[in-house]
Amino acid sequence: MSRLQHAFERGKFVVTGEIGPPKGVDLEHCLRDAEMLRDQVTAINVTDLQSAVMRIGSMAVCAKLVERGLEPIYQLTCRDRNRLALQSDLLSAWAFGIRNALCLTGDHPSLGDHVEAKPVYDLDSVQLLKAADNLNQGHDMAEHDLDGKPNFFLGAVVTPAAEPIEPQLIKMEKKIQAGARFFQTQAIYEPEKFEQFVNGVQELEIPILAGMVVLKSAGMAKFMNKNVAGITVPDSLIKEMEETKAEDRKKKAVEITARIIRNIKQLCQGVHIMPLGWDELVPEIIKQAELS
Amino acid sequence: MHATIQKPIEEIDSYFRPGEKVFVVGCDNCAAKCHSGGIPETQEMAARLQKRGVKVIGWCVPQPAGTSLCKLSNTKRVLQEEYGGHVKQADSFLVLACGQGFHTVMDATDGGVVHPGCDTVFGGETVSDDFITEYCSLCGECIVEYTAGLCPVTLCAKSLLNGPCGGAKDGKCEVDRNRDCGWQLIYDRLKAIGRLQQMKQYMPPKKNSKWSRPRSLTLGDGESTFRSLTGEHTVRNRD
């Protein structure tokens, strides 16, 4: 059983982190980021060609984390692989000691740096979860038996602030039926909206890790408001960042993230912190959020 | 209808060897509606190429009016009988039509050298005289019964079958913020017609073998047979 699954089963408030593999083979920086999360988080997401930008793969970096005794959450998107490759990669990941898999649709290639790439999407995230769950049960999508089966702890994502929310909720329920055992959410900045969402999904009885994207600047907040689906940074937070001197921004970022976590921690089973390179702030965020 | 758009004249021009005698063929159905290969465009293409020094020996858009170039029997009759002299004289044919019409000219000229004058861009609905848009991807496995008549394979940029991704913002697609999210359209319509329950149903992955190419259809007496990598599939069209 993965440590992540074990933590949920013990009813522990779970903290997960995230690292992004680099473009190239120099993993030093990325593994240093992961080291900063050691003893702070239960598991670390490793993104899969995030933003559809070609990089070293999630599986390789996950395997490096396993080697170092860190627990990865293998992010797997439907964008680049057909059902043969997705199932095969899951089996390969298991062989490398990877025990958690987060199944995602994936950003469209047109948003990344290889815009002429063929978008695959042979499966969608619900179908991928079902395929992964079938592997757990010992057979593939063609209903052939496996010689040795994995036992992945499967996760999925949801956007609590999507408008309208109903299609997201319908899909969330389908993901649970397909095999999702926990959820990580899109970044949360508005505790009241998150509360509404949580109240709406309580009967699903599924662990939810609230997404925390560390706010680095007012500019970043405005950019996300304009461009990123399902993220709304309230004006009050933008103002707070604007009034912060450049040299105090990291301190402010910690303060804001910790405050949001304090406001929502009664509502969910944990938080997923996405520090976007400011990994050194995670211990202080956890401390100020009164999680340690 | 098969939507087509003309290739750039420079690219078309580059296909011909010096002195190559070219006969230009258009289509009076889809390509005419797309203004890529109707009578005026075909006539004009002949003149444009001549102006660039290409040896154009003639042109035609097989009639009767409105006939598709991809109807082999008609295209063959027109090219072999009405334009037999030109066809014999031609070194090659430039086709202003879709890829099916293009191949029809190859068949109608018994394997003649054929150059494509258009890119075939999609199969679409002629919404108005000046707007054609895509609602079907010709996937071989129609699921619109469950999606309020709107095809997610076509209208969703990722062809997702079980609901929207997290990328839509204000009902617009992450790929292009001016384009509607296909799943938003499906959700709105399912709700409007009181069938939202259908969105909760799990949609299994597509059978891509039905999408395998090339596919064919054979028409018999009261029955049709579809061939793809799934094998032969025969249905009765009448009792």
Do residues B31 and B109 both lie within one domain?
yes
Do residues B182 and B224 both lie within one domain?
no
> What residue of B is the nearest CA neighbor of A168?
B164
Q: What is the DSSP string of A226-291?
A: HHSTT----HHHHHHHHTS-GGGHHHHHHHHHHHHHHHHTTTSSEEEEE-TT-GGGHHHHHHHTT-
Distance CA B37, CA B44 (A): 10
Do residues B192 and B215 both lie within one domain?
no
Do A221 and A215 meet the contact criterion of CB atoms below 8 Å apart? yes
- What is the least distance, in Å, from the CA of B53 to any CA of chain A? 35
**Residues forming beta bridges with residue B95, ordered by sequence position:** B25, B116
**Cβ-based contacts of B202 with chain A (< 8 Å):** 126, 130, 174, 177-178
**Cβ-based contacts of B208 with chain A (< 8 Å):** 122
Do residues B79 and B8 both lie within one domain?
yes
- Residue A173 lies inside a defined structural domain of this protein: yes
- A121–B contact, CB cutoff 8 A: yes
Do A140 and A222 meet the contact criterion of CB atoms below 8 Å apart? no
**Cβ-based contacts of A108 with chain B (< 8 Å):** 157-158, 167, 174-175
**Cβ-based contacts of A229 with chain B (< 8 Å):** 166-169, 174
Chains A and B: how many Cβ contacts under 8 Å? 88
**Cβ-based contacts of B195 with chain A (< 8 Å):** none
Q: Would you state the structure tokens that stand for residue A269, as one six-digit string? A: 């089973």
- Residue B107 lies inside a defined structural domain of this protein: yes
- B189–A contact, CB cutoff 8 A: no
CA B5 to chain CA centroid, Å, is 10
- Residue B128 lies inside a defined structural domain of this protein: no
Domain that holds residue A124: 3-287
Do residues B180 and B85 both lie within one domain?
no
**A168 three-class SS:** helix
Do residues B70 and B154 both lie within one domain?
no
- Residue A30 lies inside a defined structural domain of this protein: yes
- B168–A contact, CB cutoff 8 A: yes
Contact A124 B174 (CB under 8 A): no
Query: Where in B27-88 does DSSP place strands (E)?
Result: 55-60
Mutate to test the interface with A, among B169, B172, B195 (most CBs of A within 10 A): B169
Task: Count up the domains in chain B and report the number.
Answer: 3
> What is the enclosing helix (H) or strand (E) of A52?
none
**pLDDT tens, chain A, 292 aa long:** 999 999 999 999 999 999 999 999 999 999 999 999 999 999 999 999 999 999 999 999 999 999 999 999 999 999 999 999 999 999 999 999 999 999 999 999 999 999 999 999 999 999 999 999 999 999 999 999 999 999 999 999 999 999 899 999 999 999 999 999 999 999 999 999 999 999 999 999 999 999 999 999 999 999 999 988 889 999 999 999 999 999 999 999 999 999 999 999 999 999 999 999 899 999 999 999 999 7
Closest CA to A191 of A155, A224, A236: A236
Mutate to test the interface with A, among B139, B143, B165, B178 (most CBs of A within 10 A): B165
What is the DSSP-derived secondary structure letter of residue B80? I
Contact A229 B167 (CB under 8 A): yes
pLDDT tens digits along B186-238: 999 999 999 999 999 999 999 999 988 899 999 999 999 999 998 899 999 99
Distance CA A269, CA A124 (A): 26
- Residue A157 lies inside a defined structural domain of this protein: yes
- Maximum separation of any 2 CA atoms in chain B, in Å: 65
Q: Tell me, what's the pLDDT at B42?
A: 98
- Residue B53 lies inside a defined structural domain of this protein: yes
**Cβ-based contacts of B161 with chain A (< 8 Å):** 124, 126-127
Q: Degrees (nearest 5) of the Cα angle B47, B51, B54?
A: 90
Looking up residue A17, the CATH number of its domain turns out to be 3.20.20.220
Task: Count up the domains in chain A and report the number.
Answer: 1
List of residues 6+ apart from A24 with CB closer than 8 A: A55, A56
**Residues forming beta bridges with residue A226, ordered by sequence position:** none
Q: Tell me, what's the pLDDT at B239?
A: 82
Contact A171 B163 (CB under 8 A): yes
Which of B123, B158, B173 delimits the end of a domain? Answer: B123
**Cβ-based contacts of B203 with chain A (< 8 Å):** 127
Contact A124 B166 (CB under 8 A): no
Distance CA A259, CA A179 (A): 33
- What is the least distance, in Å, from the CA of B59 to any CA of chain A? 36
> What residue of A is the nearest CA neighbor of B161?
A124
- Maximum separation of any 2 CA atoms in chain A, in Å: 60
- B43–A contact, CB cutoff 8 A: no
Looking up residue B30, the CATH number of its domain turns out to be 3.40.50
Do residues B36 and B104 both lie within one domain?
yes
Contact A121 B183 (CB under 8 A): no
Do B217 and B225 meet the contact criterion of CB atoms below 8 Å apart? yes
Do residues B18 and B116 both lie within one domain?
yes
- What is the least distance, in Å, from the CA of B167 to any CA of chain A? 5
Residues of chain B where predicted confidence (pLDDT) is lower than 70: none
The pTM score is 0.94
**B128 three-class SS:** strand
- Residue A292 lies inside a defined structural domain of this protein: no
> What residue of A is the nearest CA neighbor of B198?
A170
- What is the least distance, in Å, from the CA of B132 to any CA of chain A? 23
**A44 three-class SS:** strand
Contact B170 A163 (CB under 8 A): yes
> What residue of A is the nearest CA neighbor of B186?
A167
Q: Would you state the structure tokens that stand for residue B92, as one six-digit string? A: 């090659």
**A131 three-class SS:** helix
Do residues B25 and B61 both lie within one domain?
yes
Do residues B42 and B97 both lie within one domain?
yes
> What residue of A is the nearest CA neighbor of B158?
A121
**Residues forming beta bridges with residue B118, ordered by sequence position:** B6
Do A191 and B211 meet the contact criterion of CB atoms below 8 Å apart? no
Contact A174 B163 (CB under 8 A): yes
- Residue B29 lies inside a defined structural domain of this protein: yes
Domain that holds residue B221: 209-239
List of residues 6+ apart from B97 with CB closer than 8 A: B4, B25, B26, B27, B30, B31, B36, B37, B69, B70, B105, B117, B118
Distance CA B58, CA B78 (A): 14
Distances (CA, A) of A242 to A144, A223, A275, B10: 58, 14, 19, 54
- Residue B228 lies inside a defined structural domain of this protein: yes
* B190-229: b (≥16 Cβ within 10 Å) or e: beeeeebeebeeebebbebeebeeeeeeeeeeeeeebebe
- Residue B132 lies inside a defined structural domain of this protein: no
Sign for the CA dihedral angle at B78, B83, B88, B90 comes to negative
- Residue B110 lies inside a defined structural domain of this protein: yes
Do A270 and A207 meet the contact criterion of CB atoms below 8 Å apart? yes
Do A226 and A250 meet the contact criterion of CB atoms below 8 Å apart? no
**Cβ-based contacts of B166 with chain A (< 8 Å):** 105, 157-159, 162, 168, 186, 229-230
- Residue A110 lies inside a defined structural domain of this protein: yes
Contact A126 B202 (CB under 8 A): yes
Which of B70, B97, B123 delimits the end of a domain? Answer: B123
Q: Degrees (nearest 5) of the Cα angle A7, A10, A16?
A: 20
Distance CA B216, CA A152 (A): 42
Distance CA A202, CA A200 (A): 6
> What is the enclosing helix (H) or strand (E) of B50?
helix B39-51
* A28-51: b (≥16 Cβ within 10 Å) or e: eebbebbebbeebbbbbbbbbbbe
Do residues B21 and B89 both lie within one domain?
yes
Do residues B119 and B92 both lie within one domain?
yes
- Residue B135 lies inside a defined structural domain of this protein: no
